[in-house]
Structures are given as structure tokens and as C-alpha cells.
């Protein structure tokens, strides 16, 4: 591995801090999943969408390759400590969401950090997850209004959480967390 592609200790520490913070939220979302699926499965996209945060915040702050995937995995490990029944789902989600976020960033060779790029990954994640959960949670058995609501929330949930993540990441950058971390 060339020295230009290595992640410094500072970058790793920032990713770890973001991973811990978002992992705590992910663990809480894991427990909330049980309640939402039992009472309002059409709203699950809002809960699942929160899992985009680690990569969005990390990429917005650090703006380097691999930080989304790394931060997602760290967040999944923290979330797994809080909600161990979801360990494999947390890790799978981390790899899927982090991989999509990295792939979209890689398409621009990690040079474009406009908000639109983040929202592209959010829509891709929303569509993929909405389709997968549709079958896994048997959304087709719900009333038509609930099916439509599920699809809208399932796709828009990650988009809304991406906006939250961008705001948090921008705040961290403004506070100086990213000083000396990103390459332009």
C-alpha cells in the first residue's frame, strides 16, 4: 500500500469517534426496530435510514477514500454491543451502506463532495433497502395506503438521515475537527 493511501492516526481517531457516536444511535435503532416492525412496519424506513449516518458524517468531515466503510464497520461493532441480536445485520448493513457510499465517491475519484453526491448514495440505498425489506417484512400483506407509505418512507428515510448527517459533518468541519485531515 502506498503511503499516499494510508489513513493517518488522526483520521482513524476521527472515524472511531464518529463510529462510536453513530453506533450508539444504531444500537438504539436496533431495539426500536422490534417495536416499529410490530406496530408500524410502514415506518421502518425512518429507523433503517439512520444507518447511513456513519459514512455520511465521516465522508463529509474527512473527505478521503475508505472512511465511510471503516466508520460504518466501527459503528456496527458499537451497535452490536448494545443490541447483540442484530450483530450480523449491523455488519451486513455496514458493508452494504458503506460500500455504496464509497462506490459513489469513487466514481468521482473522491474529488466531488457536493451534497448532491451524498444524496445519490442515499437514494440508491433507499431503493435497495425498500425493495429488500418489502419482501423480508411482507409489506405486500399490508393495506395499499401502508404499502405506498412504506415505499415513500423507505426511500426518503435515508435521504432525510443523509441531510442530518451532512449537517452534523458540516458542523464538525466548522468546529475544526477536519483541520489537516482532508486532501483537496
Question: Rounded to an integer, what is the distance from CA 74 to the centroid of its chain?
Answer: 12
Going by pLDDT thresholds of 50, 70 and 90, the confidence category of residue 1 is very low
pLDDT surpassing 60 at residue 4 = no
Query: Which of 5, 130, 124, 152 is closest to 55 using CA atoms?
Result: 124
The pTM of the full predicted model, rounded to 2 decimals, is 0.92
pLDDT digits (tens, 9 = 90+) for 76-104: 999 999 999 999 999 999 999 999 999 99
b/e map 122-137, b = 16+ CB within 10 Å? bebbbebbbeebbeee
What digits encode the pLDDT tens for the residues 38-89? 999 889 999 999 999 999 999 999 999 999 999 999 999 999 999 999 999 9
Amino acid at each position: 500500500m502506498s503511503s499516499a493511501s494510508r489513513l493517518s492516526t488522526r483520521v482513524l481517531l476521527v472515524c472511531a469517534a464518529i463510529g462510536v457516536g453513530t453506533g450508539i444511535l444504531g444500537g438504539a435503532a436496533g431495539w426500536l426496530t422490534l417495536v416499529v416492525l410490530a406496530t408500524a412496519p410502514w415506518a421502518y424506513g425512518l429507523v433503517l435510514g439512520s444507518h447511513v449516518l456513519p459514512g455520511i458524517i465521516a465522508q463529509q468531515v474527512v473527505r478521503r477514500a475508505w472512511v465511510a466503510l471503516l466508520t460504518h464497520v466501527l459503528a456496527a461493532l458499537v451497535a452490536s454491543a448494545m443490541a447483540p441480536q442484530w450483530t450480523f445485520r449491523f455488519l451486513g448493513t455496514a458493508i452494504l451502506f458503506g460500500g455504496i457510499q464509497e462506490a459513489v465517491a469513487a466514481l468521482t475519484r473522491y474529488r466531488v463532495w457536493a451534497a448532491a453526491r451524498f444524496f445519490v448514495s442515499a437514494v440508491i440505498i433507499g431503493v435497495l433497502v425498500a425493495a429488500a425489506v418489502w419482501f423480508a417484512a411482507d409489506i405486500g400483506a399490508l393495506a395499499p395506503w401502508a404499502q405506498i407509505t412504506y415505499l415513500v418512507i423507505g426511500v426518503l428515510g435515508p435521504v432525510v438521515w443523509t441531510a442530518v448527517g451532512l449537517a452534523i459533518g458540516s458542523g464538525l468541519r466548522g468546529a475544526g475537527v477536519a483541520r489537516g485531515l482532508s486532501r483537496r
